[in-house]
Structures are given as C-alpha cells and as structure tokens.
A and B are shown apart, each in its own frame.
Chain A
C-alpha cells in the first residue's frame, strides 16, 4: 500500500511564495524553487503549487516558474489555480508539472474534467474542492476562493460534486475545509470520511492541520495524505519529526533519510 503522503502546499503569487490565513492577508515568504528544494530535502512526498491569483483574477498560469521547479525537483508536484482550458492544461504539463488541480474552472465547465482525463489520464487530474459547512450542517462548494472579494457559493453540495467529478474522470480530490483553513484546530475528519466513502479515488485532507496528531486523524478517516501550508512554512512542524511521529503510531510513511 502507498505510504501516507505529507504534502506542503505553496501559495504562489507573481512567482513568489506567499501565505495568508483563510485565503486572505497574504504576505511574501520567499522564492519558489528555494522552498521546493527545502521541502524535497526535508522529506515532503509531493508538492502543490497554488497560483492564488490566476484563478480569482481568471488569468493563466505563469509557466516560467513551473519550468524552474520541474528542472530541479525529483518528487511529484501539482499545479493549481486558473487552469481553465485543455490547452492551458497541456501547457502546464509540457512545462513539467505532474498533475493539474482544477477547481473553479471545473465548476464553471464540468466537461473540462472529462476532456483532461481523456487526453492526459485521470492520474494527473486532481479536483480541488473548497468545502464549507452551511448553517444547516450541509457541506457546500465554494468557488473563486483566491480572494475574499471573488469567493462565492458554487451552488453545489460537496459530496455530490465529489462524486460527479470523479465519475467524469478526476483521479484525486484535495478536500479543503474552508472554516478550518489556517486555524490549526485539526482537519474536518467527519467530512473527509464522508467524501472517502463517496468516491473511489484518493482523497487528500486539507485545511486545519496544526500538529502530528491531526495528520494521524486524517489517515484514520481514510485520507491518502495530508496537505498543509502555514505549519510547515512557519517551521512549527518539521516534516522529518512529523513522519517519525506518524511511524511511531504505526502509520506507513516513506522513510526520510536525513541528508
């Protein structure tokens, strides 16, 4: 069985890594390639680069930084944000990305998922799903979450959308629970378990990780990996320590060899 994946997510704006809380108040935290190499060297199993402005402002991805990352990185990485057409997806893959994560454009045009899966294979089509819990307890999908000004209810229930997207060919889901994002109170494991039960593809937990135990909870809920940003960027959780902790709990991880 695959090891539980630890996935740092790097928010990218104008070729730089930035970090915000609940998708707002972004500050510059450094160069993309430097961050990518740091995480590769510290045992990250995969990286996600999320172009936070491309989706909200409906611009294309800047391919120059994708190429820079592909040149030096020897672990898988996904590019998210603003991939709205088959040709844009092809360009990002040609630049060396392994996976495309699509979110708002898939909600606007669900056929995009079918087209990408058909031409490039399900294994490189990741559905980014921003889910929030409504007052009535229903989980609903949010769209254009790159900035507070554009963020809006997509008019779909999260479980139904997860099911539809995977039937259309999405090969993985990154499930981001928005009320937990940046709050470090733990993943929404009840929601993770519900999505895992609804689909056949791997589900990656996102939003809310604050300590090793939260990753163990996501694993117990059936997630194939845990994605996090601020706890890694702020160096509050070191991936080698996190992996050691998870291994001690009996969770299979890819061993980390200290350089």
Chain B
C-alpha cells in the first residue's frame, strides 16, 4: 500500500448518481475518491458500492471494468447502498442476472398490492433484529425512519440486522463478514442516515485510524 491508498473509494461505474453519496461523506469530514480502478479499490481502507438503475446494466459495467472478481475479494470494510446492496447477493430477478454472490440469497421484485405501491418509496420505519433490538446497531435504533426507493428487495435471511415491513419483512440493513449494506439511502435519510454512515466510518479491518 503506497501513500496514495485512499481512506475511502466509491465505486464509479461511470453512470448514475454517486455525487450524493460522495457529498454525504464529505459532510462527515471524509474525502472519498471515485474510482473503478482495481488497484485503488483493493488499497482503499473502505469501499462503497453505490448503485442506481438496473441490475443487468450494473453487472455488465462491473464485468466490462474487470471488477467481477475484484469486489468479492475485498477484505476491508465494504458498504453497499440500495442497488449496491442488491449487487452483493447471488442473483436478481431484475434482468435475470447473476450478481457478485458475496451474501447468500436472491433479489426479487416486490409485488404491488392495493395500498402498497411499487416502487416502495418514502420514509419507512426500521425494526432491528434480535439481539440488536433495544440496544441499537450500526448507528441505528428501533423505530428510526429511513428513506427507501426500490422495486426489488433482497431475501430476508441471517444477514439481516434491520428490516422494514412492506407486506413482508424487507432487509433494510444486512451484515456479512466485512460487508455491511443498506437498502435505504443513508445519504438521503437525514440524521438517521448520517448516524449510519458515521458508524461505517468507525469500522476497520486493521488497527488504522480514519
């Protein structure tokens, strides 16, 4: 790791809104770099996988940039956001595409119902899974409202540490090894989102300050 290893790298697939995520970290005093360079991603102390748009297009971009095997091999703290969370799972119904496979489970379309439009859009309440309920985790507390905007949802499973109810339990935050990910948009979730991002900044894979 040279002196150029950034504190934080935000994966830049060359499209979509990553500006708002970068700005959110800048508001917290960080200076993230936006990159798709494998060496920079490997050397960064923390990596953020953002994502808007469709799963198929994102996976095509990841493959074209030579990152299909780079991202799953990262060992430092990794944060997935929205589609960036879904990309970490095994497969998505959206475009019927194989994903990065870092977290067990699949991504499926949310079924619309009367009173339950799709996309799931707006501020929904988080429920922390035991053993976190009552104590909090990842800067979050039971009952916090976070901003969601998505039509597909990850399978609920052992990785879920917080869920929100939308007909069934939708994973809102998952954690698996060095990876933590949010279905909601922390960069647009006010003080709740800022607390979550701050908790990510406290995660380390080695005894090294921010």
Contacts and interface: CB of A to CB of B under 8 A. Distances in A.
Interface of A: 1-3, 5, 40, 45-46, 67, 70-72, 74-76, 90, 93-99, 118-124, 171-172, 199-203, 222, 224-225, 254-255, 257
Interface of B: 15-17, 19-20, 23-24, 26-27, 52-54, 57, 83, 112, 115-125, 145, 147-151, 165-166, 185, 187-191, 193-194
A200 B120 contact: no
- Most chain A CB within 10 A, of B83, B119, B125, B145, is at B119
A52 B29 CA distance: 35
A46 B189 CA distance: 10
Nearest to A97: B17
A25 to B, nearest CB: 33
Contact of A3 (B17, B53, B124, B149): B124
A204 to B, nearest CB: 10
Nearest to A3: B123
A112 B121 CA distance: 22
5 contacts: A2-B121, A74-B193, A97-B17, A98-B185, A199-B117
Given A5-B122, A71-B23, A93-B16, A98 B188 contact: yes
Given A200-B112, A202-B121, A123 B150 contact: yes
Contact of B52 (A121, A172, A203): A121
Contacts of B150: 123
Contacts of A40: 190
Give the dominant DSSP class at A's interface.
loop
Contact of B122 (A95, A119, A224, A257): A224
A28 B194 CA distance: 33
B145 A74 contact: no
Contact of A172 (B17, B27, B119, B187): B119
A104 B172 CA distance: 36
Nearest to B56: A118
